[in-house]
């Protein structure tokens, strides 16, 4: 455990800059449905100079993953260090179906407040309840228009300036709403709100934004997006809002420098889940769970601009922040079934990676837990991913894979749907039927099948790795008190005569 907070004043020397160790801060920037559309990750079209500059001053993660490919569950996992089934936010925290975290969960904002760290959130929050996720400074969709606090980068800049006017150690979490789709809620602004604030009649004006328009025929599409004109126009609109996000990141970093906090602030940039395209968000394929991740430290200079291929998870963010602030992990303890458990964070601190790459990555593994997106999208899945293999357990495999509302009305999905109905070529890497109908178990050898098209779970030569990963998933479910641990072929009994001997009781339905 790193411990940078001391009882006396100690200075770290980095070049000519002195860093006061009892004033360490964190700036966490989260994109909304953001992906790898930036120069740092070899996208040659989407212009992201500010993100690329941040990456040059950071350790760049090539194999970072969310633990759940859905907005609220991912944000809750990010802020608690616990997967969806453990923290209680099983699906979207909105409307009448407002999934909440359990009231005894202690999020990173709550822990930091208790340790005299000033906390702030600007932009999209989308988690609850308030007593689990309290912030000293809060400007979110709960007390503002989400368009203003999540996409108006001038407004975000001014709110950041207001928060940074402090001499206290702080944690600032900025949740952009870009590049999330908005065609289902605000179609007047375009599919990705790419027209919002661009100065056109009725669109409003964001003074600090210089819109960039992309040509659909010039894009290089990822393998999981259909190579059609409708999809290309969709991605071009997405790129425009990514560029707005990028310019907003530049404004925030500048505010950090102007306020005098830049040289003692850990900066983390990532996203909540995959991009909002088929095989992206709500999926456990890499196209749905792989995330951009940069960590820039004013103390660690050994690996700035370098790349790590070590596996990491957004569940690692809370242990990393506790490590940075010198707070013991056991302060995150909560109570389950009247018994206090302290070993509940299954993630790890990422700070050691800022110094050196692990010599042996063969035992690394990350886990995933998905239950719902919208209330009608019940499709629980569990996942284990190693450096080479991935195992997905589809618990509701009898049902077709569900489609979320904003993806359904998107130009890309509607084009796939219409082409399928009229027996036309969808120019996609799989059929719609294959996308909907999934087996209970999916096992992929990512070394030879990075697009995850060849399920090898039934091969005799795959049984050893299948059993190994299946056992690891089960062990992780036990460690994190997963109520779905026996699904779908058994019932979990842990009360009455089973109180001290919990068991999975067979349903005899495994046909």
Please state, in angstroms and rounded to a whole number, the distance separating the CA atoms of residues 114 and 81: 17
Please state, in angstroms and rounded to a whole number, the distance separating the CA atoms of residues 307 and 188: 40
Cβ-count burial 172-189 (b if 16+ within 10 Å, e if not): bbbbbbbbbbbbeeeeeb
In the chain, what is the straight-line distance between the N-terminal and C-terminal CA atoms, in Å? 48
- Residue 358 burial (C-beta neighbours within 10 Å; 0-12, 13-18, 19+): middle
Give the pairing of strands 290-296 and 265-271. Answer: antiparallel
Please state, in angstroms and rounded to a whole number, the distance separating the CA atoms of residues 159 and 181: 24
Give the single-character DSSP code of 130.
T
The partner residues of 260 in beta bridges, in order of sequence, read none
Polymer length of the chain: 511
- How far, in whole angstroms, is CA 85 from its chain's centroid? 16
| Spatial CA neighbour of 509 closest among 485, 482, 484, 491 | 491
**In 3-state terms, what secondary structure has residue 383?**
strand
**In 3-state terms, what secondary structure has residue 506?**
strand
Active site (catalytic) residues: 71
The residue written with tokens 């009229």 in the block is: 422
89 CB contacts (<8 Å, ≥6 apart)? 72, 73, 76, 99, 100, 101, 127
Are the C-beta atoms of residues 235 and 215 closer than 8 Å to each other?
no
Give the pairing of strands 312-313 and 59-65. Answer: parallel
């Amino acid at each position: 455990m790193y411990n940078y907070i001391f009882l006396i004043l100690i200075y770290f020397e980095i070049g000519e800059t002195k860093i006061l160790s009892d004033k360490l801060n964190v700036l966490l920037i989260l994109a909304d449905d953001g992906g790898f559309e930036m120069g740092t990750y070899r996208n040659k079209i989407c212009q992201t100079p500010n993100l690329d500059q941040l990456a040059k001053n950071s350790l760049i993660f090539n194999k970072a993953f969310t633990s759940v490919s859905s907005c609220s569950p991912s944000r809750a996992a990010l802020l608690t260090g616990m997967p969806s089934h453990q923290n209680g936010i099983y699906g979207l925290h909105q409307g009448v179906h407002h999934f909440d975290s359990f009231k005894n969960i202690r999020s990173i904002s709550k822990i930091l407040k208790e340790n005299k760290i000033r906390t702030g959130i600007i932009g999209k929050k989308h988690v609850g309840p308030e007593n689990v996720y309290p912030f000293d400074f809060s400007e979110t969709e709960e007390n503002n228009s989400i368009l203003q606090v999540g996409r108006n980068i001038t407004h975000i800049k001014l709110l950041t300036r207001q928060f940074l006017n402090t001499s206290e150690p702080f944690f600032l979490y900025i949740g952009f709403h870009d590049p999330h789709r908005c065609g289902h809620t605000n179609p007047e602004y375009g599919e990705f709100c790419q027209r919002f604030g661009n100065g056109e009649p009725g669109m409003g004006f964001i003074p600090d934004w210089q819109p960039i328009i992309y040509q659909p025929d010039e894009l290089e599409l990822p393998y999981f997006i259909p190579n059609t004109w409708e999809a290309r126009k969709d991605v071009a609109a997405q790129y425009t809002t990514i560029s707005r996000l990028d310019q907003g990141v530049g404004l925030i970093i500048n505010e950090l420098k102007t306020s005098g906090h830049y040289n003692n602030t850990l900066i983390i940039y990532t996203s909540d889940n995959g991009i909002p395209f088929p095989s992206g968000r709500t999926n456990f394929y890499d196209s749905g769970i792989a995330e951009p991740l940069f960590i820039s430290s004013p103390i660690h200079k050994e690996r700035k601009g370098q790349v790590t291929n070590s596996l990491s998870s957004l569940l690692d963010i809370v242990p990393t922040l506790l490590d940075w602030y010198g707070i013991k992990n056991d302060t995150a303890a909560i109570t389950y079934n009247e018994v206090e458990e302290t070993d509940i964070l299954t993630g790890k601190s990422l700070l050691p990676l800022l110094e050196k790459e692990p010599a042996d990555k063969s035992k690394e593994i990350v886990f995933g837990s998905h239950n719902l997106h919208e209330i009608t999208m019940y499709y629980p899945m569990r996942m284990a991913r190693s450096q080479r293999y991935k195992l997905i357990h589809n618990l509701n495999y009898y049902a077709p894979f569900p489609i979320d509302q904003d993806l359904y009305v998107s130009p890309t999905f509607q084009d796939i749907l219409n082409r399928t109905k009229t027996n036309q070529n969808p120019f996609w890497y799989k059929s719609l039927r294959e996308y909907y109908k999934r087996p209970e178990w999916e096992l992929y050898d990512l070394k030879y099948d990075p697009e995850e098209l060849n399920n090898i779970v039934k091969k005799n030569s795959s049984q050893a790795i299948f059993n190994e990963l299946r056992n690891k998933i089960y062990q992780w479910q036990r460690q994190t008190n997963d109520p779905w641990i026996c699904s779908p072929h058994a019932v979990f009994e842990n009360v009455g005569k089973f109180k001290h001997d919990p068991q999975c009781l067979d349903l005899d339905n495994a046909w």
